[in-house]
Structure 1
Amino acid sequence: MEEIWDAIVVGGGLGGLAFASRYAKEGNRVLVLEKGIHPGGCASSFDRAGFRFESGATTVVGWEEGLPLAQLERDLGIQFPRIPLSPSMVVLWKDKELIRYPEREKWQKEIARVFGKSKRMEWFWRFLFFLSDGLWSISGRYLHFPIANGKDIFRLLRTLRPKDILIFCASFLPFRWVLKIFGLEGKEEWISFLDEQLMITNQCKSKEAPLLTAAAGLCYPNLINTYIPGGILRLSETLVEYLEKNRGECHLKEEVIRIRKDGSESGQDLFQVVTKKSTYYSKVVVCNIPIWNVEPLLSEEIPARLHAIRRFEEGIYSAFTMGVVLRTSSLVPKSYHYQIHLSAPLPEGGGDSIFVSLSHPEDKLRSRDGVLVLSISTHVSDPETWRERGKDYQNHKQIWVDTILSQLAESLPWFRKEEIIALHSASPLSWQTWTGRKLGRVGGIPFSYFSNPFRFLSPNVLSVKGLYLCGDTVYPGQGIPAVVLGGSHLAQRLQKKEI
């Protein structure tokens, strides 16, 4: 019989790699199987036309003491490459510019400059900071969430602090109630700012967002924000390097096509993981893929609770992304991240804003030869419209590309179309082809589905011993810090046999 692995991870995204590294640290042999040519999943980089592009525009936060990336560095004894950024981003709409400073006092002054100074606004942000800090504290300390049984309730009560009770109570409230309580619900430009910030982090707007996730999402630019030299791919490569030094392996270009139960030859209760190249055996399987991609992989003898994941089908976003290489000019960008509100929404389910990330001048791999590499992303609310490459597909893409380029030229004084030396674009269909995600869905499940924290999907939602999920569609959800936290917690629970 083939070698038996302690765990096999299906999908080489950051959540799965965080699990694999953390589990390997405890002496377990872990195999990661990734269909792509690079690890990282949706948080990766790729080379084209001699330049390195990011898979999409994104920020990387979570470096404070106790937060997921800092904690993973400490646990593994590694160092991720990074360059601190300030400001975190610049938001542009109509004739306004708002600079998202990470320093809280500085940010309070900036928000007062743009929207007017008031005690209500000041206390509103203080309240959000309190909730955000509390949520990160609870998330870091408590491994057993969402609660699945009586033992989990006991573990929760054992670790609760008095302040945690307030945070849990707040988790049952909608964000719109708090806006109303503070008298901040009426101004159109203010709500537009909140809505587009929440679309980045919550995949929903202020009317639908739960209070706790909205607080964390609106305050994330006030965490330490960083640029990853060499591309965001370097995060995953660092974890792969650690894994391979600790008796683990990461196989690229090896797509999993079936997961079966198998115990006939060894007498052990094992899983059989079948790829297009080989068959592997493992005691544990962790699916680091979206919930919509799990069901087609499971053989009939695995009695999974599939109804628990089938309810998440409506209102799931995909993305339209672009990469642009620009000759630099004498005008220096104020930030390496921009959110630009569009003068009109993109057609056929397009977003109301675009998010732009720039290469850093200290990154000699990406910013060489006096060029600036831009990664651009926007939401697609109806990815089904991009399902086929029909005769109108290229025209559809070109309309979006032209609209986005015109908005960039209008909003950014240093962006000139005539200075573009390379450009590519990717639709939801491109994302589906590249990542394998159903309909190219990226960014996880909108938090509007989770009116309270107990509605989140847990890693053991399938109720099959030894078969678990991690990534952006299970708790704690979307974003690099969240998926890293989820993968790390799953590894610790498995090691302690508390799942």
Structure 2
Amino acid sequence: MKYDVVIIGSGFGSLTAAALLANRGLKICVLEQAKYPGGSASSYKRKGYWFETGATTLVGLDQHMPLRSVLDYTGIKVPLVRLEPPMQVHLPNGEVLTRYGNLEIWIKEAERVFGPHRQREFWEHCYRISQSVWRTSTRQLSFPLSNAKDFFFSALRATPGQVMLLPGAFRNMEDVLRKHNLLQNKLFVDFVNEQLLITAQNYLHEVNELFGATALCYTLYSNYYVPGGLINLVKPFIEFITSAGSEIKYGQEVGSVKPTAEGYLIRTGKGGFESNFVIAGIPLNNTLQLFDDKKVQRRLQRYLLPSEQLNGAFSMGLILKGEEAKQVLHHQVHIPEGLPIIGSKSIFISFSHATDTFRAPAGEVIASISTHVRHPQQTLIENKSELEQAILDGLIKHGLIRQENILSVQSATPGAWISWTRRAYGAVGGYPQYRHMKPWQLKDARLDHRGAYICGDTVYPGQGIAGVCLSGMIAVNKLVQDHF
């Protein structure tokens, strides 16, 4: 059988693209090397419990945001529980900072913890930027520009507000803090750095104002929990795609993509698949290995980031019994002295909802923990128990868990991510933001300017479920713009 589009990988960017294309009546085949769909935004089952694969937070459902646009367009329904407040941050001085979803309440909380000096101006400024960025993102689906049609459609949809955003691409978040006279506030600088690390994968001297302001404000938009885990965000997309007559095939690791006279031949260890078009929903580093086409390789080479510029993750899953129900499910814990072996200075922990008996029986809770591993190819973690204990000690110290309530501990290194997801170096979280890379210099959705495209967290716009959802929208928009 020949498909209209073959999509490589079933991460959320891929599923977004598949749903949008299936909704247009095209015959889609999604090829997934694992046995579960969703990539880094899914869940897996072990010993009767459901653990999150990677991502644990969900945003993007407010007006002008990508996931809201896709759900409205397709009619897909996702079970959701809104979280308020969405997060707490445990700072080095012992303060617990609550990241409220209401801007006014959040500013008062920031002033309480960091002092009143210029906090209001800073957060109002960042929130205005973030609103403009989100509005622009879903209007400018031809961005980044890589052919004449992109320029035409972007100009057609341009507004004065979008033009006003441009200077923010040339400022970094360090400049913004300096402008608001906040760089001397070390507690605040440390807070901003660690918050940017979990949203933009880098620190304030590297992250530009557009991405940085948007990243810092993600708790000021609706945050959700998906009962049963993020697998139940993925399942409605799978059901929509298959009910439209398209397919998803598991255990199909793609080895090569070759252009043919009438499209593409995608080979896996189990056979070949023909299609008119192809979308790679896997990282750029992996995509490069699939194409023998020298032009594609030259185009991609300039965008690739090596391991030393990427982050992996050390992740843990806990089963807890007897813990009090958490009113706030997501917590970031600062570890100023750094964790052993990897040096990471913060831990992120997410708890399953107290009423979610699908992931764990009543009276038990699942906790998902992650921390960054810089240069994952080089950072070998041979003594997992030392790192595990340091993380548990930090969480116990801040009162988030109790040792006697731990029923089970499991952990995974970047090496496990390679085995599990096949992502190069075991890198997760997407490509970090770097100051020298402006938004229009990030890789756009076209691979060969013929019929091959790409989406996911290593191309524009980058990280998070909302970001990869937008990348899937852009890939579809450019495919349709080019060929239909």
Return the TM-score normalized by structure 1.
0.93
1:479 partner letter: G
Q: 2-side partners of 1:238 and 1:450: how far apart?
A: 39
User: Is 1:321 matched up with 2:315?
Assistant: yes
User: Is 1:480 matched up with 2:465?
Assistant: yes
Aligned match of 1:107:
106
Counterpart of 1:344 (choices 316, 321, 337) is 337
User: Is 1:357 matched up with 2:342?
Assistant: no
Counterpart of 2:396 (choices 397, 406, 409) is 409
Change (3 A) 1:495 1:179: same
Aligned match of 2:373:
380
Aligned match of 2:71:
73
Residues 202 and 209, structure 1, Cα contact 8 Å, conserved in 2: yes
Aligned match of 1:469:
454
Q: 2-side partners of 1:209 and 1:41: how far apart?
A: 26
Residues 373 and 379, structure 2, Cα contact 8 Å, conserved in 1: no
Aligned match of 1:439:
425
Q: Give the 5 Å matches for 1:415-430.
A: 415-430=401-416
Q: 2-side partners of 1:463 and 1:68: how far apart?
A: 25
User: Is 1:184 matched up with 2:170?
Assistant: no
Q: State the SS of the aligned residue for 2:233.
A: helix
Q: State the SS of the aligned residue for 2:116.
A: coil
Once the two structures are overlaid, the 10-residue window that deviates more, 450-459 or 135-144, is: 450-459
Aligned match of 2:439:
453
Aligned residues: 482
Q: 1-side partners of 2:440 and 2:67: how far apart?
A: 25
Give the C-alpha shift of residue 308 in structure 1.
2.4
Give the C-alpha shift of residue 195 in structure 1.
0.3
Give the C-alpha shift of residue 77 in structure 1.
0.7
Change (3 A) 1:55 1:203: same
Residues 23 and 495, structure 1, Cα contact 8 Å, conserved in 2: no
Change (3 A) 1:109 1:255: same
User: Is 1:272 matched up with 2:257?
Assistant: no
Once the two structures are superposed, residues 103-156 of structure 1 have per-residue CA deviations (whole angstroms, 9 ceiling, x without a partner) of 1111011111111123x2211111101110000000010111111134322322
Give the C-alpha shift of residue 87 in structure 1.
0.6
Counterpart of 1:239 (choices 219, 230, 237) is 237
Once the two structures are overlaid, the 10-residue window that deviates more, 49-58 or 427-436, is: 49-58
Q: 2-side partners of 1:382 and 1:170: how far apart?
A: 28
Give the C-alpha shift of residue 465 in structure 1.
1.0
Once the two structures are superposed, residues 251-309 of structure 1 have per-residue CA deviations (whole angstroms, 9 ceiling, x without a partner) of 1111111111223xxxx2x1001111121100111000000101221235775423223
Aligned match of 1:495:
480
Q: 2-side partners of 1:277 and 1:184: how far apart?
A: 57
1:402 partner letter: Q
Q: 2-side partners of 1:321 and 1:429: how far apart?
A: 11
Aligned match of 1:249:
247
Q: 2-side partners of 1:386 and 1:253: how far apart?
A: 29
Aligned match of 1:162:
160
Give the C-alpha shift of residue 185 in structure 1.
0.8
Q: Give the 5 Å matches for 1:125-274.
A: 125-263=123-261, 268=262, 270-274=263-267
Residues 295 and 448, structure 2, Cα contact 8 Å, conserved in 1: no
2:97 partner letter: L
Change (3 A) 1:495 1:53: same
Counterpart of 2:387 (choices 393, 396, 400) is 400
Give the C-alpha shift of residue 65 in structure 1.
1.7
Counterpart of 2:304 (choices 301, 310, 314) is 310
Q: 1-side partners of 2:341 and 2:281: how far apart?
A: 31
Q: 1-side partners of 2:109 and 2:41: how far apart?
A: 30
Residues 135 and 212, structure 1, Cα contact 8 Å, conserved in 2: yes
Q: State the SS of the aligned residue for 2:313.
A: strand
2:374 partner letter: S
Instruction: Give unmatched runs, 5+ long, in structure 2.
Output: none
Residues 383 and 439, structure 1, Cα contact 8 Å, conserved in 2: yes
Give the C-alpha shift of residue 386 in structure 1.
4.9
Once the two structures are overlaid, the 10-residue window that deviates more, 428-437 or 234-243, is: 234-243
Change (3 A) 1:317 1:449: farther
Q: 2-side partners of 1:154 and 1:431: how far apart?
A: 41
2:286 partner letter: N
RMSD: 1.7
1:231 partner letter: G
Change (3 A) 1:148 1:300: closer
Residues 459 and 468, structure 1, Cα contact 8 Å, conserved in 2: yes
1:97 partner letter: V
Q: State the SS of the aligned residue for 1:376.
A: strand
Return the TM-score normalized by structure 2.
0.96
Counterpart of 2:277 (choices 284, 288, 291) is 284
Give the C-alpha shift of residue 449 in structure 1.
5.3
